[in-house]
Structure 1
């Protein structure tokens, strides 16, 4: 209703300008301006986050333009499950029914699952539970950075995470308990999950994967090369959400960067990453995921926040959420 009123007021203003200026082109310019403005203002962005030492819980950032971020006050969900009761790498998506689904890292080592909870408004949450996704692989060292992706065509959720299974892959320069690979599982209801399978093996330790869909058969996998001489962000391309993916690209971020998250503004993609040795966020901009522009000095992220994922939400929802957190 509020959007309709805004459109009506904009039309009245346009007609007023038209008759006062008596220039037919003014109406066209006004209408086009109105359409572009309402289109651009339809969505805002939320960025899931946490603060070290990760025992407080889910925090949220918001942005109107994708470049400038502000903190929403308070903790939205305090971790209650897992051996250490921590919440790292929170990843969240909104399903077609409007429900938000959240997954997170439970522990550094010694666990076979990730945390899960859901919410309709990000204020009231379901009971938290552990998804023991790697319980069939008892030698698994860890389950890190679960990332959610909704597959519209299949009407299900893809979960991608990193795990180390000692002596399963060529050791390389990493220790056996730090030689990660990316795995995946599929679920429709977050109650039943497919058996974990290898998602992507670039030939070296890799973590922190996020998936971008550009077309029906056009996907980009953005992830961290976790080998000690790299510790940076790379990409690979595939024709399906499940791959197979190409060989990885060269790094497009500085060393000691992790936790990439991607948002789209118009025809450009912004890739945020946690530049952890610098204690800040970095960002890159691209149109094709082959050529990247460093825009770190053009973005604003409040200090103290650590990496999660970015998702679009309606401005109406964001305004309601902000009102509830005042």
Structure 2
């Protein structure tokens, strides 16, 4: 009996230490994305501090315009960190690189996901989600193909009427053909999908300009690559928001987003995915932060990042 109690006590201590060791990392860009990847960290999800004195940690080399906008980093099933990003406002591919430690990165490459579509105008805000059941990754992004969809064709900005597309891959070397991921009859960009209790939750931006939307909504599916239905009512307020990224911590969801017309970041939180509370006034973010994504790392990984940046 004593051995059982000791085991339970030690397990509780280890669980507590693990929880205390959890650190969150925010990958983001600044200005137009020309200088590359920026990182910030937080221990509570509200107070964020820039690493490397808020200087870029990786200079963009992929694509014709060599930008690194909207970076998305996930920890893969292979133990590597995989990153995708927007390389240009008007190109038909997305950037990709991987790293074992967030310090040393593979050669950057452009994945030509929409090269087969002559009329495609862009590939914006790519993200990656891992499907554990299929043991593969899904990369997804927003593209406008003029004339492809009539719904929403006159409600956006200029000629842009986006829909979400995707490819799948197991190794980031071979990719499935691009397919349509989400079309619910409106202009949509900036999807971010997280697995949750056997389902997949998509946070998305309703990009409709007239009548004004420009807000964050939610769609849900039982499968990663399709089946997402009509979106929820907006979870953000009466301001323009983009680039949602979600963190589940301490029994609640925090969704961060770029209040891009106000040049600041915002956040809402919920315990049930139905009732959302604005907690933007609790956030402290690096100055000039733009559209990014959040992930969890260990305390040791953060220590390596901080030590490397102080050399």
What TM-score does the superposition give when structure 2 sets the normalisation length?
0.91
Partner of 2:43: 64
Give the Cα separation in 2 of the matches to 1:312 and 1:243. 26
Q: CA deviation at 1:177?
A: 2.6
Give SS of 1:209's match: strand
Match of 2:172 among 190, 193, 197: 190
The structure with more helix, counted as a fraction of residues: 1
Alignment deviations for residues 113-169 of structure 1 (CA, whole Å, 9 cap, x no partner): 001111111221111111000111111000000001111222211111000000110
Q: CA deviation at 1:33?
A: 7.3
Partner of 1:260: 244
For structure 2, which runs of at least 5 residues remain unmatched after alignment? 1-5
Partner of 1:42: 21
Q: How many residues align?
A: 299
Alignment deviations for residues 86-131 of structure 1 (CA, whole Å, 9 cap, x no partner): 110001111122211111101111x110011111112211111110
1:245 is aligned to 2:225: no
Superposed CA RMSD: 2.0
1:104 is aligned to 2:88: no
Within-5 A mapping of 1:211-290: 211-216=193-198, 218-228=199-209, 229-254=212-237, 255-290=239-274
Give the Cα separation in 1 of the matches to 2:33 and 2:156. 25
**Structure with the greater alpha carbon radius of gyration:** 1
Q: CA deviation at 1:53?
A: 2.2
1:125 is aligned to 2:108: no
Q: CA deviation at 1:271?
A: 0.3
On the 8 A contact 1:172/1:204 being kept in 2, the answer is no
Give the Cα separation in 1 of the matches to 2:205 and 2:157. 17
Give SS of 1:48's match: strand
Give the Cα separation in 2 of the matches to 1:158 and 1:177. 27
Partner of 1:317: 301
Give the Cα separation in 2 of the matches to 1:315 and 1:68. 16
Partner of 1:52: 31
For structure 1, which runs of at least 5 residues remain unmatched after alignment? 1-26
Give the Cα separation in 1 of the matches to 2:129 and 2:257. 18
Alignment deviations for residues 152-211 of structure 1 (CA, whole Å, 9 cap, x no partner): 222211111000000110124226731000011101111111011110112111000001
Give the Cα separation in 2 of the matches to 1:321 and 1:117. 18
Alignment deviations for residues 5-40 of structure 1 (CA, whole Å, 9 cap, x no partner): xxxxxxxxxxxxxxxxxxxxxx9xx87974553131
Within-5 A mapping of 1:170-189: 170=150, 171-174=153-156, 177-189=159-171
Give SS of 1:75's match: coil
Give the Cα separation in 2 of the matches to 1:140 and 1:281. 30
What TM-score does the superposition give when structure 1 sets the normalisation length?
0.87
Give the Cα separation in 1 of the matches to 2:298 and 2:224. 25
